[in-house]
């Protein structure tokens, strides 16, 4: 070691007073994820994905995170004209963002793997859980690009489900290719100045194309369009001569480039100057007779777009879970390596409580992602009741996990201290990005109301009850805890049914939170029992105690005597699930 260097610079990196997690493999570090994936993936697929998960985990902790930071600092710009004066909008993207597109769309095929065979060498399309496991690692480095990924994946799903065969044949190969030069990315243009979540107020008009009986011409403005230069977009518009309200709204497929190679008749007016997701462009679109094709039935636009939105909402919940995992992992690294007052932070009781408060919602969200992805798999296979369950779990995770991510990101920043407020660290970007999850694709109120809509229209509540009860029955809960859980299922169901009535609408968010936390606690207990993880069973019981049961703060914490240390042990936790008990029989 160079004796001429100051002593502080001679300190080995692992002992540096300012801990830096850069270079950590986000997959190999995450023993919980490694234990959970075999529960949700077929054994042969789980084994096949192992090297890809390890590679993406290394990228997320290293090169990909560097690219994401650079792209965040160098956001896209809109070029309105060519140098010769032609009106031709073009979004200029930083080379590091384009490299992230190559990794996501091309190398890992994240938008294609649910739709065709051969991605990552697998002979069939992969289930949603595989896609979300990989994307969960990707989003820990880059949040913004996951929006175009999700919209391309979701548009492909909706087009295949509702589009005319000729329309599907025209565009499908371009949507699922891993050749970046041939790829057509997807977007959805819904929001208008006067029509955000209130789709019935859509004013963009679709008129029959006088020159092509199979096509329509769109006129109007769309106010918030992420990935605005995408090759294809799903657009909601009011078809000419249709009735007022929702029944007059239809769904159309809008290409950026027409089949003859000419540009379609719409313009990107400007890009948004956003708080977060700075790497990815969002803009305003003016439709000036743009040519589009009807998708599905005339007047059924909202129902058909809902399929795309629901798929994207599940992805949104996954992104929130991934952001929380990144925030928690950073906080744990700091607490394990930072010393103050002669002790590591991780050994201090107050720090343990602070870490537990951000760890639990992150783990709840993780379980809910995989539970919902598995319900989606079963729904797509036609299993009775699985669609109704998916329709409930999807808005639940969008509602609760996206809100939790905001608090988790902020509290994790505090663990890093003053460095966490500095842009050269990742914390500010995580905090900014976390705030978008509960806004796009439906704000919290709108999504909570969609939970009640699923109960009212899809009959989801009895299916959810059966699902949660089965999870509890298949778990090794202490009898007293199991009895409380089953009782809470009844109470939450009664509350949810009441919230479906207009006069009790104010109960909607409370009911949705109760359903979410019960789903998560039951799932985590089931996972713990299947893997033998005492740590996960402890988490499940803490969710029950702190997110579901009433607590009087003047009585002191209900877990004052609980040893929280096992929550932060980085080694796999197996065996002794039945011995984890925070309950008495009284």
What are the DSSP calls for 269-295, one per residue? EEE---SS-TTS-EEEEEEEEEEEEE-
Residue 382, φ and ψ in degrees, nearest 5: 85, 15
pLDDT band for position 558 (50/70/90)? Answer: low
| Token pair recorded at residue 422 | 């500095």
Write the Ramachandran bin of 292: left for phi over 0, alpha for psi from -120 to 50, otherwise beta.
Answer: beta
User: What pLDDT score was predicted for residue 195?
Assistant: 82
DSSP 31-53: HHHHHHHHHHS-HHHHHHHHHHH
Give percent above pLDDT 90 in the chain. Answer: 84
pLDDT band for position 8 (50/70/90)? Answer: very low
Is the pLDDT confidence value at 432 over 50? yes
Over range 7-22, report the average pLDDT: 68
Between 194 and 45, name the one with better pLDDT. Answer: 45
User: What pLDDT score was predicted for residue 11?
Assistant: 46
Tens of pLDDT, residue by residue over 130-167, are 999 999 999 999 999 999 999 999 999 999 999 999 99
Judge whether 433 and 410 are in contact, CB under 8 Å.
Answer: no
pLDDT band for position 4 (50/70/90)? Answer: very low
Is the pLDDT confidence value at 506 over 60? yes
Is the pLDDT confidence value at 573 over 80? no
User: What pLDDT score was predicted for residue 554?
Assistant: 63
6-15, 48-57, 319-328, 462-471: least confidently modelled range? 6-15
Q: Which residue has the tokens 């990989």?
A: 134
Cα 84 from chain centre = 42
Any idea what the Cα angle at residue 209 is, between residues 205 and 212, rounded to 5°? 150
Over range 60-77, report the average pLDDT: 98
Judge whether 138 and 202 are in contact, CB under 8 Å.
Answer: no
pLDDT band for position 582 (50/70/90)? Answer: confident
User: What pLDDT score was predicted for residue 323?
Assistant: 98
Q: Would you call 417 helix, strand, or coil by DSSP?
A: helix
Which domains, from first to last, does the chain contain?
A: 31-176 (1.10.540), 186-299 (2.40.110.20), 459-586 (no CATH)
Over range 290-308, report the average pLDDT: 91
User: What pLDDT score was predicted for residue 1?
Assistant: 39
Over range 268-280, report the average pLDDT: 96
Separation between Cα atoms, residue 395 and residue 515, nearest integer Å: 11
Over range 233-249, report the average pLDDT: 93
pLDDT band for position 580 (50/70/90)? Answer: confident
Between 246 and 409, name the one with better pLDDT. Answer: 409
**For the packed helices 165-176 and 146-162, what is the interaxial angle rounded to 10 degrees?**
150
Is the pLDDT confidence value at 348 over 80? yes
Separation between Cα atoms, residue 201 and residue 393, nearest integer Å: 27
User: What pLDDT score was predicted for residue 15?
Assistant: 67
pLDDT band for position 555 (50/70/90)? Answer: low
Residue 475, φ and ψ in degrees, nearest 5: -120, 165
User: What pLDDT score was predicted for residue 524?
Assistant: 98
Is the pLDDT confidence value at 9 over 50? no
Over range 537-560, report the average pLDDT: 78
Between 89 and 522, name the one with better pLDDT. Answer: 522
User: What pLDDT score was predicted for residue 3?
Assistant: 44
In sequence order, which residues have a C-beta less than 8 Å from that of residue 216 and are 6 or more positions away?
206, 207, 208, 209, 237, 239, 252, 291, 292, 293, 294
Residue 416, φ and ψ in degrees, nearest 5: -75, -20
Over range 249-261, report the average pLDDT: 96
Separation between Cα atoms, residue 63 and residue 123, nearest integer Å: 29
Over range 50-76, report the average pLDDT: 98
Tens of pLDDT, residue by residue over 380-396, are 999 999 999 999 999 99
Separation between Cα atoms, residue 251 and residue 267, nearest integer Å: 20
DSSP 403-414: HHHHHHHHHHHH
Is the pLDDT confidence value at 568 over 90? no
Separation between Cα atoms, residue 336 and residue 345, nearest integer Å: 6
User: What pLDDT score was predicted for residue 566?
Assistant: 85
Decide: pTM greater than 0.85. Answer: yes
Separation between Cα atoms, residue 197 and residue 451, nearest integer Å: 15
Work out the mean pLDDT of the chain and round it to a whole number.
93
What is the DSSP-derived secondary structure letter of residue 475?
S
Is the pLDDT confidence value at 466 over 50? yes
Separation between Cα atoms, residue 293 and residue 209, nearest integer Å: 10
In sequence order, which residues have a C-beta less than 8 Å from that of residue 221 and are 6 or more positions away?
192, 193, 204, 269, 284, 285, 286, 287
In sequence order, which residues have a C-beta less than 8 Å from that of residue 527 and are 6 or more positions away?
35, 36, 39, 367, 533, 536
pLDDT band for position 586 (50/70/90)? Answer: very low
Separation between Cα atoms, residue 229 and residue 152, nearest integer Å: 12
Over range 498-521, report the average pLDDT: 96
Cα 301 from chain centre = 24
Q: Which residue has the tokens 């939970």?
A: 451
User: What pLDDT score was predicted for residue 5?
Assistant: 46
pLDDT band for position 64 (50/70/90)? Answer: very high
């Amino acid at each position: 070691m160079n004796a001429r260097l100051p002593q502080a610079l001679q300190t080995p990196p692992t002992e540096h007073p300012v801990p830096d997690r850069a270079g950590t493999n986000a997959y190999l570090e995450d023993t919980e994820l490694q234990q959970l994936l075999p529960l949700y993936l077929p054994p042969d697929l789980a084994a096949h994905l192992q090297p890809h998960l390890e590679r993406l985990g290394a990228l997320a902790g290293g090169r990909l995170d560097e690219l994401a930071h650079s792209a965040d600092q160098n956001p896209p710009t809109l070029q309105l004209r060519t140098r010769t004066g032609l009106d031709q909008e073009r979004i200029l993207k930083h080379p590091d963002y384009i490299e992230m597109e190559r990794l996501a769309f091309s190398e890992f095929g994240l938008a294609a793997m649910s739709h065709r065979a051969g991605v990552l060498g697998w002979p069939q399309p992969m289930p949603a859980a595989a896609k979300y496991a990989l994307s969960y690692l990707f989003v820990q480095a880059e949040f913004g690009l996951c929006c175009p990924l999700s919209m391309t994946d979701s548009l492909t799903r909706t087009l295949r489900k509702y589009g005319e065969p000729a329309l599907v044949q025209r565009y499908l190969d371009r949507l699922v290719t891993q050749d970046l030069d041939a790829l057509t990315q997807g977007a959805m243009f819904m929001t208008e100045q006067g029509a955000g979540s209130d789709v019935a107020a859509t004013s963009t008009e679709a008129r029959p194309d006088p020159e092509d009986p199979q096509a329509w011409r769109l006129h109007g403005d769309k106010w918030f369009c992420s990935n605005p230069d995408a090759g294809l977009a799903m657009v909601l518009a009011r078809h000419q001569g249709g009735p007022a309200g929702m029944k007059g709204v239809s769904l159309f497929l809008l290409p950026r480039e027409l089949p003859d190679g000419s540009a379609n008749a719409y313009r990107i007016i400007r890009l948004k100057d956003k708080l977060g997701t700075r790497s990815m462009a969002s803009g305003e679109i003016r439709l000036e007779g743009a040519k589009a094709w009807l998708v599905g039935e005339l007047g059924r636009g909202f129902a058909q777009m809902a399929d795309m939105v629901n798929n994207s909402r599940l992805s949104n919940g996954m992104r929130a879970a991934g952001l929380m995992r990144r925030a928690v992992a950073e906080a744990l690294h700091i607490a394990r390596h930072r010393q103050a007052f002669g002790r590591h932070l991780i050994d201090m009781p107050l720090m343990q409580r602070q870490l537990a408060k951000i760890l639990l919602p992150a783990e709840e969200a993780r379980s809910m992602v995989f539970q919902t992805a598995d319900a989606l798999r079963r729904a797509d296979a036609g299993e009775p009741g699985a669609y109704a369950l998916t329709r409930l779990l999807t808005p639940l995770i969008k509602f609760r996990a996206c809100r939790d991510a905001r608090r988790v990101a902020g509290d994790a920043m505090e663990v890093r201290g003053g460095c966490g407020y500095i842009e050269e660290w990742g914390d500010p970007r995580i905090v900014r990005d976390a705030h978008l999850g509960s806004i796009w694709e439906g704000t919290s109120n709108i999504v909570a109301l969609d939970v009640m809509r699923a109960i009212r229209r899809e009959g989801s509540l009895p299916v959810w009850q059966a699902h949660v009860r089965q999870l509890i029955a298949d778990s090794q809960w202490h009898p007293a805890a199991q009895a409380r859980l089953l009782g809470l299922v009844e109470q939450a169901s009664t509350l949810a049914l009441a919230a479906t009535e207009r006069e009790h609408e104010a109960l909607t968010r409370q009911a949705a939170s109760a359903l979410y936390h019960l789903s998560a606690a039951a799932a985590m207990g089931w996972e713990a029992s299947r893997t033998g993880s005492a740590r996960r069973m402890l988490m499940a019981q803490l969710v029950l105690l702190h997110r579901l049961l009433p607590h009087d703060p003047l009585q002191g914490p209900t877990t004052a005597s609980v040893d929280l240390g096992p929550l932060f042990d980085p080694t796999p936790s197996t065996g002794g699930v039945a011995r984890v008990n925070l309950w008495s029989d009284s």
